[in-house]
Structure 1
Amino acid sequence: MEILQALFFPPEQPGGVSSMIPYVQERFNKAGWPMEMFSLPKRLRGKGQEEVTFNTFDVAQFAGNPIVDKYVQTYRDYIWWTRMRIKRSYDLIHAHHPIAALAMKKLYPETPLVMTIHSSYERELILNGKIQPDGPEHRFLTSIYGELEETVDRLLTVSESFRNYMVPYIQRPDEVKVIANGYDERRFKPISHENAVPQLITVCRLVPAKGLDILLHACADLKQRGFNFVLHIIGDGPIREELEQLAVELELYDDIIFYGYMLHPEEFMPFFDVFVLPSRAEAFGSVFAEAALCWLALVGTDVGGISEQIEDGVNGLLVPPDQPAALADALEKVLSDPTYRYNLARAGWEKAKKAYSLTRVISELKQVYTEACPNTK
């Protein structure tokens, strides 16, 4: 069976897809299942002129909205680029973004197409203050779920939480299969170390949805309680300057290191003690599994896929979103008791090895692919 993995941007971009798909490709190729990757160049814009229509709703009602128009134009560009670059057929296409899925099915309607929904663009836009709930952009983006359900041959997602999130927007949620992300253990090498001052680390895009403002306020609280620590922030984004200014205002700037974007943070992560990310929403939260495989104690918010990875008090700590005092209390627990921190990290590592192994993902994907192409070997 020859398979095409259709991504949105190239796999060097940060995120769960980039953390997994290149390693999935490597495993499938070694097993004799030829697999290629395809994506849209990040700088390609405004090339496509295709007329866009959807089967389940009228896109014309959203015409003139800047966010919708940009989304539709990107869809046109993906079609244009695919026509330009792909000159052969595949037995199956596995898409990892709605635009990739819809474009591929339009161009190759007879090819079985599996689609994994990894995240919610509309929820991210709402949390980042870009759109309003129930506004036109929100209605357009949530309508895409129904379009995908009618268009693709098999719909997957990465957590039970996200499948539940989609329930209002699709007709057959029970048919959506959950395959949690998995990771190649060879990438993660826990390192025995002792830090005189506890080292906290977070890895994410610097956007409001990740809750780093809450983290900084929690760290200011910890400092007032007399705790020493260093917070390492890996990632970049539109609110970096705002976060740096907040660190200054909270008298934290000397306790924080802003690194900017890093391609392989897992190579850096094992030298730290605690991974913390107070996201306001996460479909899965790949970076928690990656941090667990690096043997770090986990502290996260009780939202989405994070709460499916962490059992509070067993393999990490969960706190409500948008509550800096609760986050400070959780961080105090892991900073004040190294033995407790170690036990949480060990339990997190054991669960991540078992639940988020790449071998498990490969096995589940082979089953899905075989069901989609029963007559192809």
Structure 2
Amino acid sequence: MSSHSVSATRRVLHNAPLLDAINGKTPTRTPVWFMRQAGRSLPEYKKVREGIGMLDSCFMPELLAEITLQPVRRHDVDAAILFSDIVVPLRAAGVAVEIVPGRGPVLDAPIRTREDVSNLPILDVDVPEVAAGIGIILKELNEQQALIGFAGAPFTLASYLVEGGPSKNHEKTKAMMHGDPETWHALMQRLVPTIVNFLKVQIDAGIDAMQLFDSWAGFLTERDYTEFVLPYSTEILQEIEQYAIPRIHFGVGTGEILGAMSRAGSEVMGVDWRVPLDKAAERIAAVSGPKVLQGNLDPALLFAGTDPLTREVARIKAEAATAIAAGNATGHIFNLGHGVLPNTVAEDITEAISIIHA
């Protein structure tokens, strides 16, 4: 296991809206960043990535830094999100995985048996390419702009591994969970150190906050989430607590399990667009006390034009203010309720961010 220590070179940020919102201060403006803001929608991203595989680009320090910084330069967001992918730690550990255009991560050999689990490599070394990329990014960001690192949560990684790729129904995943729970728990336990180590690589390199991204958790019942997933996400967030950086926890379609997810221990809870922020805050506060909310504009609204967008932004800000006034939330970071959609026009993203800041 590689040794990690709190980075002696961590930046001290001044008046950074994202960190001020998390720390209970009044930010100079509503902090905003968008999931998947790095790439996809930007012409400059398509240009630099031409002919380079998605996962390959995550291991090229200059390129990964350039892609991470592009939306910060263009859109004036308050945080950069590290350009990466949920399966990057698996690739770094030596798992044979490729991102197939139009489909997503696909594995050479899905995990189906206890023996498969035992043979799954664990990431126990540094990832120098990612650390070097972070070093380049931090040189360009100013002291108001935070850098968010991220990792996929164990359930989402486990689902990719068991299904062999993206799944609409997660039938193999749920079959293992219920039909062979011992193998399921062994797989989750095996994934925890890989995820923790990947986050520690980013923390040592100087990230200012981190997000644990559970893309598929919304496919689970609250009971299944609590039994089969929550202990492992909790363990990861507890491991990171010693580094004193803000922890964000997010999943898609998670309205029914927001309370359960909030028990994992993050300071910030991401909310997708299906649940109004004030209602989400009630569900979270009832279980684990008030937290900072992140969200939750429907990404499709970036196609709707200025007036509808302005109304939606105002509504979301009002819901956040209601939650804070009621004592159910301690702050608000503006975000989408999921990632930027691929065909979004870059100029519309810039406009949305200026409306949010206004």
TM-score (norm 2): 0.33
Structure showing greater Rg: 1
* Higher-RCO chain (CA-CA 8 Å, sequence separation at least 6): 2
